[in-house]
Structure 1
Amino acid sequence: MRFHIIIAAVFWCGHVDSRKIRGISSSYKRFYKERKSFLCIDGSKIIPFEQVNDDYCDCEDGSDEPGTSACPHGRFYCTNLGFRPHYIPSSRVNDGICDCCDASDEYNSHARCQNSCWNLGQREREYVEGQMRTLDEGLRLKQQLIEEGVLLWREKQAQLRELQQVAEDLQIKLEDHRRRKNDADRLKEETLKALEAGDSGKCGQYSSVSSIFQLLDSNKDGSITVEEVQDKVAFIQDEERVLSVDEAVSLLGGHQTDLTNFQHNLWDILRRGDRVKIKDAHGAPGSLVGEDPHLKAADKAAEWEATNLKKVEEAYETVNMEISELQMKLAMDYGTDWEFLFLNSQCYKLKVYEYTYTLCPFNQVTQKSTAGIEVSLGKWGMWTETPKNQYSQMVYENGEPCWQGGSRSTTVTLTCGTETVLRSVKEPSKCQYIMDFQTPVACQPVLKQRGIHSEL
């Protein structure tokens, strides 16, 4: 008989203890030790300990009823051994719906709940282990990209130095070609002035009897006629007037002349340069141009130098543009180890319904419709850091204006993965876009410190 009483007492004590600590986490059990009175956790009231978990709410914070649904603001703790523990509102206790995977919230209801914590925990463990494998692989790939980034950075720096040296060489060559072109232009101008002035000395230097004769002999028959003189020669004082027949005969020494007679008549008059001059190739008054071999040579030299100068100027401009673009690229922030450098000059696409989105890191973001209309969603702006990672988000600003709004912009969030790919695009607010961009360089070693939850 005494044995049965002891057993009953042990059972009753176990029952009372179980009733009183149900729905409490291990960190709160110190407040529920068996004693004469119970102090509400918010300190608002002291009640007899028998009133704890008696299905009547005495404390304003609901701390006296952790295992019942009596208090509107109470919380019930699901231990969920094998899975993740969590709190549920106390109103869900014994409501016939299993909220805790260990079924502890339905200890006094008609619901027949199965303990599913182990299966849930197993799936969670498999998911976390998969994430860890992805992280390990991502970190391995990231290290490769860091090494490639360092090499690429050095290559870019070497390329910049080479371009700067080319620019210096072209600068020297450019100055030389400018000097040579100026010399050629000056020689051409001096030759032209000498012919226009009709200076006998300079004409002797830059021209000849035969060259002037050939210039006046339009039909190249070996003689100069009155008509040819009227067509090519004009008075200096009245350049626009055409010579009369008598004036032409007087200058020519007859109606027609050959080279010998030309030298003793019209040639001498032209050399003096005080009465008449030779018109240009179009018949208007001008200088001794067109057929003079020295002037042709000077003009050809000036043209040649101008062409060469233009080529050197274009090459110099192109090299300087390349230097400027390379300097801009190298001035960007590619991460502490240049791990993001490989993204430069790359573009990634994603089709969402009728639109194709293109992300070109460190450049721009665009949206293209099936009709072929392309819209800028922003140009590269900056990194926006989070407390844990300064390279977690990219901001692209000043895209095309939005209808009845400001400019379009895009925020790109970088996530860890084993491949570099644009995963999703959303427009949570008008003309404000967000993108999920997955890449190994977004993987952070600090994530490994989290590990798998100890309660799994």
Structure 2
Amino acid sequence: MHCHIIIAVILWSVGIESRKLRGISLSYKRFYRERKSFLCIDGSKMIPFEQVNDDYCDCADGSDEPGTSACPNGRFHCANLGFRPHYIPSSRVNDGICDCCDASDEYNSHTRCQNSCRNLGRRERAEVEGQMRTLDEGLRLKQQHIEEGVSLWREKQAQLRDLQRLSEDLQTKVEEHRRSRGEVERLAQQETRAPEAEDNGVRSQNRTAIGISHTLDGNNENSIAVDEVQAELALAQGEARGVSEDEAVALLGGNQQVDLSRFQQTLWSSLRAGDSVKIKGSRAAPGGRMDGDPDIKAAVSAAEKDRADLRKIEDAYENVNLEIRELTEKLSIDYGTEKEFLFLGSLCLQLKVHEYTYTLCPFNQVTQKSSAGTEVSLGKWGTWAGSPENQYCQMRYESGELCWQGPTRNTMVTLTCGTETALRSVREPSKCQYVMDLQTPAGCHPALRPRGVHSEL
């Protein structure tokens, strides 16, 4: 009889102990170590320890009933060994629904719950391992993008420098050709001012001088050099030979090279006289009796060629400057601290959602095209819009087309970590305000490394 009483007391004590400690996490067990009295965790009240988990709420913060549903603001701790421990509202304790995977919340109900923590833990660990593999591969690919981005950035800078040098050279050539044309216009004005009796002769001579100067100017530099004189002229009389270097220098007034105005004052005089030198293959001096209309036609042809050359150089100059502006604009964009996002600038990504096809061209624009073929702008590249800790996690595209009875369309693109670069989703949470998910290795960083599943033991 005495032995039975002792056993009953022991069993009752064990029951009381388990009842009192149910629903408490390891970090809070220190508040429940005193077995004579219990101080509410908020310090508001002291109660006998027997009133802990007695299914009656004594503490305002609900801390005396961690294992029952007596307190409306209480919470029950699921240990969930093998999975992730967490809290549930105490109102869910013994409500006939299994909320804890270890079934600890339904200890006094008719519901039979299976302990699924091990399976859940195994499944989550597999997911975490998959995320780890994705992150590791993403970081590896991101490093490739960084190396390629840095190399491409340097190439673009070198290209910009080359374009700037070419622009300077073309500008010099444009100015030289314009000066040459100015000289032609000056001669034309001189023709206009010439006396009527000499009108035809002066005009013919000026046109001929211009034509001959272009004939001799083999490299189109708007000047005549010694080697060009030697290549195009021959002695007019005597032995049939070309002009020596010394003779060429003398014909150019002692200069190695002369422009159009100096040509008329030096070599042109000798060519007109026709008694010392002539153009190879010609029978008489230019401007003499035998040149007539052919020389005039040659002068006109040379002037037209000069105008065409000037137009070509001006067009090339404008095109180069346009390339410089476009390249400068591209180089002014923030492609990340390590140029990891530079490769995105050459891509346009599409995703079809119902009857719409969405196209994202990073650092350019976002568009929406309907099945009927109508395309609207959802915004142009604005800026990075992430948090101060990670500003490169979001991209803002602004000032798209105006909505009917609404605001202008805007798009926010969130970058997530992945092994491929692709659009994953498009939503319109509010009118004409779009949200996109862009998955890319460039969105991976070590801080995204997931934490492994662990249990409190």
Give the TM interval when normalised to the shorter protein.
0.7 to 0.9
Q: What do residues 392-433 of structure 1 show as CA deviations (whole Å, max 9, x unaligned)?
A: 000000111111122110000000000000111000000100
Q: Does residue 1:339 correspond to 2:340, yes or no?
A: yes
Aligned counterparts, 1:440-451, within 5 A? 440-448=441-449, 450-451=450-451
- Tell me if the contact between 1:185 and 1:302 (Cα under 8 Å) persists in the aligned partners: no
Q: What do residues 268-307 of structure 1 show as CA deviations (whole Å, max 9, x unaligned)?
A: xxxxxxxxxxxxxxxxxxxxxxx96666555433332222
Q: Does residue 1:369 correspond to 2:370, yes or no?
A: yes
- Asked which structure has the greater CA Rg, the reply is 1
- Tell me if the contact between 1:365 and 1:379 (Cα under 8 Å) persists in the aligned partners: yes
Matched with 2:319 is: 318
**Cα distance in 1 for residues equivalent to 2:196 and 2:296:** 14
Matched with 1:95 is: 95
Percent identity, aligned pairs only, is: 70
Q: What do residues 187-241 of structure 1 show as CA deviations (whole Å, max 9, x unaligned)?
A: 33433553xx4133x5334459xxxxxxxxxxxxxxxxxxxxxxxxxxxxxxxxx
Matched with 1:453 is: 453
Matched with 1:395 is: 396
Q: Does residue 1:76 correspond to 2:76, yes or no?
A: yes
- Tell me if the contact between 2:82 and 2:454 (Cα under 8 Å) persists in the aligned partners: no
Provide TM-score, normalisation by structure 2.
0.77
**Cα distance in 1 for residues equivalent to 2:135 and 2:3:** 60
Pair 156,3 (structure 1): closer, same or farther in 2 beyond 3 Å: farther
CA offset at residue 341 of structure 1?
A: 0.5
Report SS of the residue matched to 1:351. strand
Aligned counterparts, 1:47-62, within 5 A? 47-62=47-62
- Tell me if the contact between 1:184 and 1:301 (Cα under 8 Å) persists in the aligned partners: no
- Tell me if the contact between 1:66 and 1:76 (Cα under 8 Å) persists in the aligned partners: yes
Q: What do residues 85-111 of structure 1 show as CA deviations (whole Å, max 9, x unaligned)?
A: 111111111111111000000101111
Pair 56,204 (structure 1): closer, same or farther in 2 beyond 3 Å: closer
- Tell me if the contact between 1:58 and 1:64 (Cα under 8 Å) persists in the aligned partners: yes
Report SS of the residue matched to 1:401. coil
- Tell me if the contact between 1:188 and 1:295 (Cα under 8 Å) persists in the aligned partners: no
**Cα distance in 2 for residues equivalent to 1:395 and 1:322:** 26
CA offset at residue 41 of structure 1?
A: 1.4
- Tell me if the contact between 2:422 and 2:438 (Cα under 8 Å) persists in the aligned partners: yes
- Tell me if the contact between 2:83 and 2:454 (Cα under 8 Å) persists in the aligned partners: no
Opposite residue 396 of structure 1, the aligned amino acid is Y
Q: What do residues 17-66 of structure 1 show as CA deviations (whole Å, max 9, x unaligned)?
A: 11001001111111112422211112222111111111111112111111
Opposite residue 187 of structure 1, the aligned amino acid is L
Aligned counterparts, 1:236-255, within 5 A? none
Opposite residue 198 of structure 1, the aligned amino acid is E
Q: What do residues 293-348 of structure 1 show as CA deviations (whole Å, max 9, x unaligned)?
A: 66655543333222211111110111011011111111110011100001113110
**Cα distance in 2 for residues equivalent to 1:204 and 1:99:** 111
**Cα distance in 2 for residues equivalent to 1:324 and 1:297:** 40
**Cα distance in 1 for residues equivalent to 2:421 and 2:87:** 38
**Cα distance in 1 for residues equivalent to 2:8 and 2:168:** 102
Q: What do residues 117-140 of structure 1 show as CA deviations (whole Å, max 9, x unaligned)?
A: 000111100001000000000001
**Cα distance in 2 for residues equivalent to 1:203 and 1:121:** 105
CA offset at residue 14 of structure 1?
A: 2.1
Opposite residue 433 of structure 1, the aligned amino acid is Y
**Cα distance in 2 for residues equivalent to 1:206 and 1:30:** 114
Report SS of the residue matched to 2:400. coil
CA offset at residue 381 of structure 1?
A: 0.4
Report SS of the residue matched to 1:62. coil
Matched with 2:422 is: 421
**Cα distance in 2 for residues equivalent to 1:436 and 1:379:** 17
Matched with 2:158 is: 158
Aligned counterparts, 1:33-432, within 5 A? 33-194=33-194, 197-200=195-198, 202-207=199-204, 296-432=297-433
**Cα distance in 1 for residues equivalent to 2:440 and 2:299:** 64
Opposite residue 15 of structure 2, the aligned amino acid is H
Report SS of the residue matched to 1:68. coil
- Tell me if the contact between 2:84 and 2:454 (Cα under 8 Å) persists in the aligned partners: no
Report SS of the residue matched to 1:376. strand
**Cα distance in 1 for residues equivalent to 2:173 and 2:425:** 53
- Tell me if the contact between 1:142 and 1:443 (Cα under 8 Å) persists in the aligned partners: yes
Opposite residue 203 of structure 1, the aligned amino acid is N
Pair 34,9 (structure 1): closer, same or farther in 2 beyond 3 Å: farther
Gaps of 5+ in 1: 209-290
Gaps of 5+ in 2: 206-291
CA offset at residue 10 of structure 1?
A: 3.7
**Cα distance in 1 for residues equivalent to 2:38 and 2:372:** 73
**Cα distance in 2 for residues equivalent to 1:351 and 1:93:** 46
Q: What do residues 147-195 of structure 1 show as CA deviations (whole Å, max 9, x unaligned)?
A: 111111111111111111111111111111111122223333433553x
- Tell me if the contact between 2:349 and 2:359 (Cα under 8 Å) persists in the aligned partners: yes
Pair 307,383 (structure 1): closer, same or farther in 2 beyond 3 Å: same
- Tell me if the contact between 1:37 and 1:47 (Cα under 8 Å) persists in the aligned partners: yes
- Tell me if the contact between 1:206 and 1:294 (Cα under 8 Å) persists in the aligned partners: no
CA offset at residue 6 of structure 1?
A: 5.1
Matched with 2:214 is: none
- Tell me if the contact between 2:397 and 2:411 (Cα under 8 Å) persists in the aligned partners: yes
Matched with 1:11 is: 11
Matched with 2:240 is: none
**Cα distance in 2 for residues equivalent to 1:189 and 1:2:** 141
- Tell me if the contact between 1:184 and 1:305 (Cα under 8 Å) persists in the aligned partners: no
Opposite residue 158 of structure 2, the aligned amino acid is A
Q: What do residues 360-399 of structure 1 show as CA deviations (whole Å, max 9, x unaligned)?
A: 0000001111111110100000001224312000000011
